[in-house]
Structure 1
Amino acid sequence: MNKLSTIGYETDTQAGLIARLRAAEVDVVVDVRAVAASRRAGFSKTLLANSLAAEGIGYLHLRPLGTPKPGRDAARAGRVDEMRAIFEAHLEEPAAQLALAQATELAKDKRVALLCYEDDAACCHRRIVADRIRQTLKCEVADL
């Protein structure tokens, strides 16, 4: 069974993030941001995907696993419990269920890292996604 990882880039550089991914032997980054654009250099979807590919790491953006805007607003305001409630409800939507199934299937055979902005996985929706995948696959989760 492959280990599932989560990673945030809030206080990192693209090179630092890639180094952490390589150290963990990650095969594929699954981007779980609703909006895969970033004001941080190197973290917008196309540039990040190309940079990862150059290092032999795959990239998949699963937009339906991103937090809806009200959840992002709650997280920015420090209302983590509210964000979690909004995201848990969002995960019941069909598109999110399909994306979760896709991420779970990928994690069966590959070392996957779920990517989002927030450094602390405990305050990020990616922990919820990771927990759902862990429940299905009975895998270990590491926060990089």
Structure 2
Amino acid sequence: MHRTLFTIGYEGAEISQFLETLRECGIQHVIDIRDVPVSRKRGFSKTPLAAELALSGIGYSHLKALGDPKPGRDAMRRSDYAAFLKVYESHIATDAAQAALHEAVNLAKKNASVLLCFERSPKECHRTIVAAEMSQIALFEIRNVGVSAQSRSLKNVQTGAATLAHLAI
């Protein structure tokens, strides 16, 4: 039996919408895979986010070793996806990233979990790579969740080796 692993980007979302999306999906644990868990978006920096999640009964872990290193983020800002992939594929192969990957798998096996990063689109975020790697270890069904204040629709999108579903709230 496959367990569902969710991914989410908070770009453009308010913390209240984000929390409601997590509740609707039955999320029990957020796995933050941002290299730098600081945000200009109110409520999404590490400490305030962990506090908000705790108030909602949702666990929180920050796994820095799974974050996209600065050269990868710089490549994405330049829209150089090939360079980003090269940087991140090299990064995720490191001992620290592999240890964090297994920690993320163990967390997601125990509780309904979501991988958190900033980018709204999973195609523009390393969380898709992390989710696919986790799925190779533990056979997760991967679903991407998007936060929006406008619609409530679920549609499947085929992306590489993993099937992602977008849920707009």
TM-score, normalisation: structure 2: 0.83
1:111 & 1:62 partners in 2: Cα distance? 17
- What's 1:8 paired with? 9
Shift of 1:74: 0.8
SS in 2 for 1:135: helix
The runs of 5 or more residues in structure 2 that have no matched partner are 146-169
Alignment of 1:91-110 (within 5 A): 91-110=92-111
Aligned residue type for 1:65: L
Please give the root-mean-square deviation of Cα atoms over the aligned residues, in Å. Answer: 0.9
Task: Write the deviation string for residues 53-111 of structure 1: whole angstroms up to 9, x where unpaired.
Answer: 10011100000000110001111222223212211100111111110010011111211
Structure showing greater radius of gyration is 2
Higher normalized strand content (fraction of residues): 2
The runs of 5 or more residues in structure 1 that have no matched partner are none
Q: Is the 1:2–1:109 contact (alpha carbons within 8 Å) kept by the matching residues of 2? A: no
2:89 & 2:19 partners in 1: Cα distance? 29
1:85 & 1:4 partners in 2: Cα distance? 25
List, as ranges, runs of 4+ consecutive aligned residues in structure 1 with deviation greater than 6 Å.
Answer: none
Q: Is the 2:3–2:139 contact (alpha carbons within 8 Å) kept by the matching residues of 1? A: no
2:3 & 2:28 partners in 1: Cα distance? 10
Aligned residues: 144
- What's 1:49 paired with? 50
TM-score, normalisation: structure 1: 0.97
- What's 2:80 paired with? 79
Higher normalized helix content (fraction of residues): 1
Q: Which has the higher contact order (CA 8 A, sep 6+)?
A: 1
Identity of aligned residues (%): 43
